[in-house]
Each structure stands twice: as structure tokens, then as C-alpha cells.
Structure 1
């Protein structure tokens, strides 16, 4: 029957390098496994495999029963230790909801262990196929929490809790499996280094996502239990961003969306329980799985639960009345003293400026040739000489800006008329026909900024508000910086512009866009829908694109995908659209993901010769598909895109770094070294060493090169 022995952990750990090679050979020989003899067992079929091992359905020839038999794959010494540690961990646990281990042994130098064979399906498949009531979900989670608490009592943290690692038996009993990443706090383990991220990202706690393995304890499992509860109740994970990097960022930094915002029928008490388990700080979660189970049991029994919603400011004020009274007694006299000083100071300044009134008005008259008359409108002439003369007026206003504001603040009789005339000239300057596009944008930006200043001095009309919304929309929501006014003020400006320009589609769209992106206000969607009915045909493509971004901001993926498709059909032929649509497909975990992603690539590949590919949008698109083909192990395709990016964005170091990563996957170390050295040279020559991302990448490459 072959060379079969029962082995102890210590004996197995003594396997030398040649025996490890034999393990790999056995694994390769068993690629196709069906009714293969294996010592006292017959391997019936493969149930699954992962990075650490394969699991087979096996039949014990003498005991006449089925078991699950696990063998390691492609093992080094550390991997072998993990494999045997998993067996030791399972042997310490005796609970009806935790899988039981039967035997640890070896056959022809192939380590293995056997455990219960469970008829059923994992929780991920089970809840998709069955409609579970809230009560059934809570009762199921109570059983899982009690089993995990048993493991914690033995000093064991699972570290990879997820629906795929929980089997549901035919009688609907949950069984926790796969302790391959479990951590035993009673032993000195050195297999996980600080900074190494272990587990499945979607279900990781923030401390796991940051690679802080020394800080992982039973509260990390509590967080994972919270994620499972959240997913069962809402049918989605708390965080669903497309890329792994952004998903890790969201887990560490973003609060989860309250469950009742996704499904209003979820009871508030259950919402509070789940959100407490998902707290970013371990000290703010349930401290044990038992306490989480107890709160869930209280919910089922209709009792009060310990988890509470975050306190409102009113309750905080009520609980700190004494402290607030003391602070008021201190600060009210201080504020009164400061106000008195300000009034005295202002009066002295006003007296000084009053003495300068005639001088200031003389300066304005000399520079502006202003005679105290202004029409309600100034003709928007296309004559360049007239516009140039008007714009010189605006430049002079910049030169003596301080004097202009003195006049405005002192409310001189002519100040209001000067500001009105200045507003009309700003509008005229914004509409200049300057052949040099860069110069035209520069002058438009300057005019729009002046219109913004005049708005806050109380001077505006319909056209100026339209220009102002275009300026703020572009700078705040396209470039996401440079605007120093609050979101509430922006929305008020957009709202007023919409009222003044009720038939201008773009103005209405900007108002709706601002509502969604500032406050996640869904009323913005209805405003955008109305804006689309007033749009010109040439604007529809971009307007649908912005509509899709709003749906994406509200995490309404299907609606966003539909709008991106409409944008593509209505003339938005832009690489940024295809990148955004491909990223959205990835975040949706769509069953058609591979087909759709390849379709996006084929479209863009055909259109590339007609596009300018040197910008940020193309950079994002290239990187998305380099990582996509890397993940699919289509290395030749990934290298083609790297070369394509190097050709059109030759000043960037990133494509050389990514190309090195592709060669690293192919184990072509000569070309890896060449690509990494090229990327390092570019970082140094472009003086990018101080950038955080460039510094991190440079450290990775230098560590690799020094090891070779």
C-alpha cells in the first residue's frame, strides 16, 4: 500500500530540501485527480485549492467513510510549518460549529491531514440561493460568533473569516473551516512579518489592512464578523471600491455606509450592532465575539442592545451643562472685550479713509475715465480693439485693487456704479476671441476670478453667475482644488445661477453635480435629469458622463454603467470615459467582467491613433489594463501596453517599473534589473525622490537589486 506513516509535527518539520522537492513532484503528478489510491485512502475528487494546499474528497478504505484530505502545494520550509500549524490549531478546537481534524500523516513523503467531509455549500453560495429572514440571519451569526469565541478562548484568532470559509450543512448548520492563517497567541510565531497583509481584503480589519500583525487580536475577528453580518443584511460588502489599493484605503479611512441607508427596513438596533462591530478602532468594537453574540441574542428577544448610535450634539450639550456654563462665563467677557476693540479700531480706520475719499475717487476717475454714468448692459463686441481697451480697464483695476476696495467699503456714491461697470467689463473680457488658446484660458480665468470677488460684494447678473458656475465647477469638481470657498457657498451660487438661467442646461447640471458631490444629496439627480432635456446635441455626451459620475458617487453602479454607455453613444469619444467605465465594471464584480473589460480594451485600442495620449487620463487607463492583464497572467499583453505607454508617455518612470514587475512574474531577472534601473534613473533625474509614491517604489526596486 506504499510507504505510509503517522508523523508528529516535529518530525515533519525536519523534512529536508530534497523531500520538499518530492512534495512538489507529487503535487504535479496529482494535477488530475480522480479515484487515485493514496495510502489508506482513495482520492475521489478535488474539492478546491488555494495558495497553501489542495483539498480532496477521499474515501477511507477500511473505515468505509468519506473525509476531506488536505495536502500542501509548492512548499518551502515556512509554508510547511504553516500547513502543520493549521492541523495543530484545528486539533485544539472542539466545537460543533468548527470542523474537526481526524489524522495527520504522510504518504510517500507527502504530508497530509484529514478532517470532516461536509455535505453542503459555503455561506457565500448559500445566502445567494436562499432568501433568509432577518431573524434567520441573526440566529446564524449567533452560532458563528459562539464558535469563534470558543477558538479565542484557546488563544486562536482565525484572521480569514469570510462566507467562503463557512460551510452550511444540509440541516443549515454553519461549520467554520480553513484555519490556514490562524494565529495562536500562546505560541511564539515568527511566520508573519510586520507589514505583511494577510487575509481576504474585503473582510479585513483596518489593522490587518495596514499590515499591523502584532496588533491583530480577537477584535480583528469581531470586525470580520461585522462585515459578514453587513453583507448578509444588505447583500453587499461595506466597501466595494474597484482596485485593491483603494479598497485597503477605504477600510482604513472611510466609515461604512449605515445599513438603513441601503435597506430602510433593517431595524435600527441591528444597524447599531453591525456598525459597532465595524468600528475603525479596536477599543470601540465589541471586545469579544461573545459580547457580539449576546447583543444579537438581545435583539432577537426584543431586549435593549448595548450598541448605541453616535450621540447627537444635543445629548452632548445636555451631559456637559456645567462645563459649558463655565466656558461661557470665561469667554463671553473676552468676546465682548474683543468686539469693543474691533469697533474702536474700525472707527479709527474709517476716519482715516474718510480723509482719503477725494484722493481715491480722483484716482479712479483718472484711471477709468469714469463720469458717473453706466448703462445696464455693455454690448459684447467682437471687435478686438474694443475688447482690448476694455480689458486694459480690468488690468488697471487689478493694479489699484486696494483703492477700489477702499471705495467699496466706504460706500461712496460712485462705488456701486463702478462695481457694476467692472462686472460688465469682466463679462466682456471673459468672451474675448483670442487666437492663442492658453492666453485665452488665462484671461478667462482672471476675469472669472474677478467676477467671484464682485459676487461677494453683492454684484451679479444672470450672465456673470453662469460664468462663475463654469469657473467653480471646473476648478472644484474637475481639478478638486484651488477653490477656497465652502461647499455650502458653492451650492448657493449654483442655486442662484439656476434661478437666473432656468433654461441653461449646463448651469442646471452643475448645480445638481454640486449637490451630489458635496452632500450626497440625491435631489441633484432629478435636477440633472431636467438639465438633460435642455441640452444641445453636442453637449449630451459630456453631460451623460457627468451624470454617470454622480451615480457612481452615490454607489449606484448599475445606473452609472448605463449612463456611461449613453455617453459613449452620444458622442463622448474620450479615453477617460472608457477608463471610468472599465473601473466601474471591476468594482461591480460582474459575472461578465472579463468579457466587458476586454471589450473596453478592444474599443480603445482601435481609437488610440486618433487620440492625444500624453495626459493623466491615458496614464490611468494604461495602468488599469497593465494590472488587469497581470492578474489574468497574460504577460505578453501586459508588456505590449507597457511599451505603448513608454512610447507616448516617455517621461514617466511608472511604466518601466510595471514592466519590471511583469518580467518578475516571468522570472526573467535580467530584464527585471534593466527595467528597475531605468525607472530609478528617471526618478533621480526628474528629482522625484521626495514624492512619497516614487520613494516607496524606489525602495522596492533598490531592495530587489541589492538582493541579486
Structure 2
């Protein structure tokens, strides 16, 4: 049997093809390819009348590494990080080649680009709050996402939440980043090293927001740092994203909790300013009658949502 990785040809699974697990004897029917990268390809499959995501690679060690990450995520009590792991097995072709694969939860949703196009840039604020919490848990567990980019994210519904769907670049803190994409890489923009630490992910988070405003990206030019600062100042039109992104790229923000705190603090301060203006503008008796409606109106805004989040959960 030929099993050497160097001799294995790339594999392309076709719609309707059955992937039979060599050891666990589970059959997965291919629906379509969801994406591919340097390590392998991810396919939407059907197993036991449910949709699942199957990732296959000729690099068994890389598959094992990703499986270990998913298992570590599942061990986090009371928190759901990344897709749930369903199965790990090998697939043997009729030519005798063996490929490793794992099966995970299929997370349905839409791309961040599509979601923002339909709902508006204001939604970036609330998506960032929940995603920053996820990043903090990931970092606390001793990992850095590494290859954090817009293609590895999806927006789920009810509630709207930004989730990652590929853990291929996840690296233990302190090691060298094992996978990266230049546009999201701080070393490429001369803002730091490729050491796996929270700041690496936070820089990439800023670049994800920029990519929403610049769908086709942009070149770094002769002065990468100035290019980024200029692009942020020119495009970002939602407070408090502009100062937040500037702090993310220059490393002023050290952990993901600070992202959440910065956003929530900003909106609480804005609400306090609004309350003071109302108190000054209305006589006391009139204000007492109008105040509930003002409060409800604030809750219907993104700022109000953030204020409500602080009140209920912080």
C-alpha cells in the first residue's frame, strides 16, 4: 500500500461520492466543496440525514493537530468554541492511497461581507463584542487562532454571531505562527513578529474590519504603517471603530477583553451624555413623562443594545 504523503496525489471529491471510513465504517455522501487551502479541502456532506463538514488531507499529521485543537475546544466547560468534532478516520482510494479526514459540525450562515451588505456597517459593533469574548476564551486556553481572516468566519443567525469555521492555523501560544495570510499578518505590515500571542489575533481582527470596507483589499505601499493608518482614517465611519482599529494595529490593546470593554464603555458614556442633555432640556415634570420612551429608543439602537448588555451581563 502506498501511504507516503510525498507520493499521494491531491484528491478531489465529487458530488454524490461516498466517503467510507476505514475504521469506524461510517459513510459520508459529498454534497459540495466548501473551501480548500494548503492543508486540505473541506466538503459539505450528509451523514445520518444531517449535514456535516468533512475535512480531508494527505497530511495526516496536520489533521491530527487540528483534531487535537477541536478536542481542546470541546473540553472548555460551558463554552462552545469552534465547530463540534464528530468523527476522525481514514479514507482509502481504489488505488491504495490513504487520506486522513475528520468530520465536524456544519455551521450554516452567511459571509461577513454578505451580512454587512444586507444589514449595514453598524452591525460590526455588536458582532465584535461577542467575537472578542470568544477570542479571549481561546487565548485563555493557551491558543492563538493564527490564520484569522474573513474567509474563516461566518455569521450565524438567532442571534447574529460571528463564528470561526476553520481551525487550521490555530497555534499554541509562544510558538511561531504556522499558517498566515499576508493581508492579515502583522509582520507583513511591519507591525510585529509572527509569534503566537494575543496581539497577533487582535491585529488580524482589525484587518478583518478593514476588509469589510475594502472588499478587494489594498497594497501596503512603501510605508505599510502609514498605509494602514490612512485607510482606517479614510473609510471607518462608525464610532468607536476608528480609534479601536488604530489601537489594535499598533498594539495598544493587549487582550480581547479590552476590545469588548472599549466598545461598551464608549456607548455607556454616550448614553450618559444623552441623559444629561435630556435633563437640561426638559423641566423635571416633563422629563419624567418622556424618559421611558427615550430609554426604549436607546435600546433600539446599537448603543442601546450594548448598554443593555452591560446592565444584564457585566
Tell whether the structures are fold-level matches, with TM greater than 0.5: yes
Preserved CA contact (<8 Å) 2:177 2:196: no
Q: Paired residues, what number? A: 255
2:218 corresponds to 1:240: yes
Q: In structure 1, how many angstroms separate the alpha carbons of the residues matched to 2:56 and 2:223?
A: 36
Contact 1:70-1:112 at 8 Å conserved across structures: yes
Give the deviation of 1:165 after TM superposition.
0.8
Equivalent residue in structure 2 for 1:299, among 266, 271, 281: 266
1:120 equivalent in alignment to 2:109: yes
Matched, 1:65 2:50: yes
The answer to whether the 8 A contact 1:227-1:238 is kept is no
Shift of 1:277: 0.7
Q: State the distance in 2 between where 1:116 and 1:287 align.
A: 31
Q: CA deviation at 1:122?
A: 2.2
Work out whether 1:101 is the aligned partner of 2:101. Answer: no
- C-alpha distance in 2 between matches for 1:180 and 1:96: 17
Instruction: For residue 207 of structure 1, report the CA deviation from its aligned partner.
Output: 6.9
- After superposition, the CA RMSD in angstroms is 3.1
**2:139 is aligned with 1:152:** yes
Are residues 1:85 and 2:65 paired? yes
Larger radius of gyration: 1
Instruction: Give the deviation of 1:258 after TM superposition.
Output: 6.5
Q: Secondary structure at the match of 2:229?
A: coil
Partner of 2:124: 137
Note the 1:508-657 alignment, pairs <5 A: none
- 2:303 aligns with none
- Distance apart, 1:236 and its partner CA: 2.0
Match in the other structure for 1:579: none
Matched, 1:51 2:18: no
Match of 2:187 in 1: 206
Residue 34 of structure 1 corresponds to 15
- Residue by residue over 1:365-413, the C-alpha shift from the partner in whole angstroms, topping out at 9 and shown as x without a partner, is xxxxxxxxxxxxxxxxxxxxxxxxxxxxxxxxxxxxxxxxxxxxxxxxx
1:177 aligns with 165
Aligned equivalent of 1:278: 249
d(CA) in 2 for partners of 1:173, 1:295: 19
Aligned equivalents of 2:228, 2:214: Cα separation in 1: 15
Structure 2 unaligned segments of length 5 or more: list them: 21-25, 93-97, 272-314
Partner of 2:154: 167
Which has more helix, going by share of residues?
A: 1
Distance, in Å, in 1 between the alignment partners of 2:216 and 2:223 is 9
Q: Distance in 2 between matches of 1:238 and 1:110?
A: 35
Cα distance, 1:87 vs structure 2: 1.8
| Offset, 1:81 | 2.4
Q: For residue 235 of structure 2, what is the aligned residue in structure 1?
A: 262
Q: Deviations over 1:276-304 (max 9, x none)?
A: 1111xx4xx21101111111122233369
CA distance in 2, matches of 1:103, 1:224: 30
Partner of 1:222: 202
Give ranges in structure 1 of 5+ residues lacking alignment: 1-16, 193-197, 305-708
Q: Specify the SS of the correspondent of 2:107.
A: coil
Q: CA deviation at 1:275?
A: 0.8
Q: Secondary structure at the match of 2:42?
A: strand
Relative contact order higher in (CA < 8 Å, ≥ 6 apart): 2
Q: In 2, distance between residues paired with 1:289 and 1:89?
A: 20
On the 8 A contact 1:201/1:209 being kept in 2, the answer is no
1:175–1:117 distance in 2 versus 1, CA, 3 Å = same
Change (3 A) 1:211 1:35: farther
**Structure 1 residue 216, shift from structure 2 partner:** 3.6
- Supply the distance in 2 between the matched residues of 1:190 and 1:288 (Cα, whole angstroms): 19
Corresponding position of 1:430:
none
CA pair 252-101 structure 1, distance change in 2 beyond 3 A: farther
1:112–1:209 distance in 2 versus 1, CA, 3 Å: farther
SS class of match (1:93) = helix
Cα displacement (A) at 1:98: 2.4
Q: Give the whole-Å Cα distance in 2 for the aligned partners of 1:124 and 1:200.
A: 18
> TM-score normalized by structure 1?
0.33
SS in 2 for 1:118: coil
Change (3 A) 1:99 1:32: closer
Tell me the secondary structure at the aligned position of residue 257 of structure 1: helix
Note if contact 1:23-1:110 (Cα within 8 Å) is conserved in structure 2. Answer: no
Shift of 1:125: 3.5
Residues 36, 42 of structure 2: 8 Å contact kept? yes
- Answer yes or no: is the 8 Å Cα contact 1:207–1:220 preserved in 2: no
Higher normalized strand content (fraction of residues): 2
Counterpart contact for 1:167–1:175, Cα < 8 Å: yes
| TM-score where L is the length of structure 2 | 0.70
Corresponding residue for residue 494 of structure 1:
none
User: 4+ runs of 1 displaced by more than 4 Å?
Assistant: 189-192, 207-211, 252-255
